[in-house]
Amino acid sequence: MKYLDEYRDARAVEALAAAIRRTARRRWTIMEVCGGQTHAILRFGIDRLLPETVELIHGPGCPVCVTPPEAIDRAIAIARAPRAILASFGDMLRVPGSAGSLLDARAAGGDVRMVYSPLDALELARRNPSREVVFFAVGFETTAPATALAAKTALAEGIGNFSLLVAHVLVPPAIEAILSSEANRVQGFLAAGHVCTVMGFEEYEPLARRHRVPIVVTGFEPVDILEGVLLCVRQLEEGRAEVENQYLRAVRRRGNEAARALLAEVFQVVPRRWRGIGEIAASGLGLSPAYAALDAEARFAPAARPPADDARCIAGLVLKGARRPPACPSFGSACTPEHPLGAPMVSSEGACAAYYRYRRQPASAAEES
């Protein structure tokens, strides 16, 4: 970012924190959806600037964390296939499936490559015409346009040895699932600014109206997050439930229409199972019929059943915002970034990794709630 200091300005931060303290007369619970926001909140101690009346809880906003084990098992099966190259982002390689990770598969002889974008995987296919290159595509709406571009380029250029194992997920259905849960205690949301940069925030407006919850599109720096909290608290105190856009420098109501059109061409909306949460209707992207030839599942037919969750890991409760990572008996002992039991300890956006890095200490009463 060209201009960064103004979004970390100490005077602006204190002024916003003071405004929140003056505004919050009742107790409110707000969920930040994005794992990047969670890391910023813990890194800069933003939660410690808030009054006791305002509680921030962490949502399922880490796409690596919510990718289910059976998807990783499918990727591992492909990586072990003769002549196959399995490519994905670095965080994905370390996330455990039911019997190890993609890094374990590589150690056992599978050809697993780390790439920075799906276009890197497409270039692998160009350079290795005798090999089948599969890109394991994960992420929210933020990363899906790059996957769509790789798919469209592969078809246009006739690159027949390239395919996609798609595990993209969508944010609004996850918010709907949280709000529809009987155990829900979230009263307002900070929506992920980078997702809305692509998709805009039209989809959030029916959610806000139907569930009577304010949703504030928010950036990732301290001033962004505190301003987002202030806007959300003001709505709650005034009895309003609207979608507001704090992240004006990057987000427009309809988002990036070219990217949205590309997504609509390449993908169709499908049900998706989320790790620790279960299946959420219409919460994933799958290849549309016009791009079915690029479907790695059809090409390799890797079978994978949903495995049982590790009883030592409470990742599902963490992803739902029901528990904080230090409340897990395995946190920092049986589960560390070097030896993770669950995906939230692996990913750079995972809540467990954030607490391990910035708050590695015994759980307080508040953290156990």
Which residue in 324, 306, 310, 307 sits closest to 360, CA to CA?
324
Q: Domain total for the chain?
A: 2
pLDDT score recorded for residue 302: 67
308 inside domain? yes
Judged by phi (left if over 0) then psi (alpha if -120 to 50, else beta), residue 173 lies in: alpha
13 inside domain? yes
| 151 and 224, same domain (yes or no) | yes
| 197 and 230, same domain (yes or no) | yes
| 190 and 325, same domain (yes or no) | no
CATH number at residue 269: 3.40.50.11740
DSSP β-ladder status, 278-287 and 267-274: antiparallel
pLDDT in tens, 63-96: 888 998 999 999 999 999 999 999 999 989 998 8
Give the domain extent around 354. Answer: 315-358
Distance set, CA 63 to CA 46, 132, 192, 312 (Å): 23, 25, 12, 22
| 30 and 158, same domain (yes or no) | yes
| 245 and 319, same domain (yes or no) | no
Structure tokens at 84: 């196959």
pLDDT in tens, 113-159: 999 999 999 999 999 999 999 999 999 999 999 999 999 999 999 99
- How many whole angstroms from its chain centre is CA 232? 21
User: Under DSSP, is residue 266 helix (H, G, I), strand (E, B) or coil?
Assistant: helix
**At which of 297, 312, 327 does a domain end?**
312
pLDDT score recorded for residue 364: 46
Distance set, CA 193 to CA 34, 108, 146, 297 (Å): 9, 39, 18, 32
| 285 and 237, same domain (yes or no) | yes
State the Cα–Cα distance between residues 118 and 108, nearest whole angstrom: 24
Which residue in 12, 40, 76, 10 sits closest to 302, CA to CA?
76
Answer yes or no: pTM beyond 0.85: yes
For the chain, the C-alpha Rg in angstroms (whole number) is 21
| 147 and 231, same domain (yes or no) | yes
77 inside domain? yes
| 60 and 155, same domain (yes or no) | yes
| 117 and 234, same domain (yes or no) | yes
pLDDT at residue 41 tops 50: yes
State the Cα–Cα distance between residues 280 and 171, nearest whole angstrom: 11
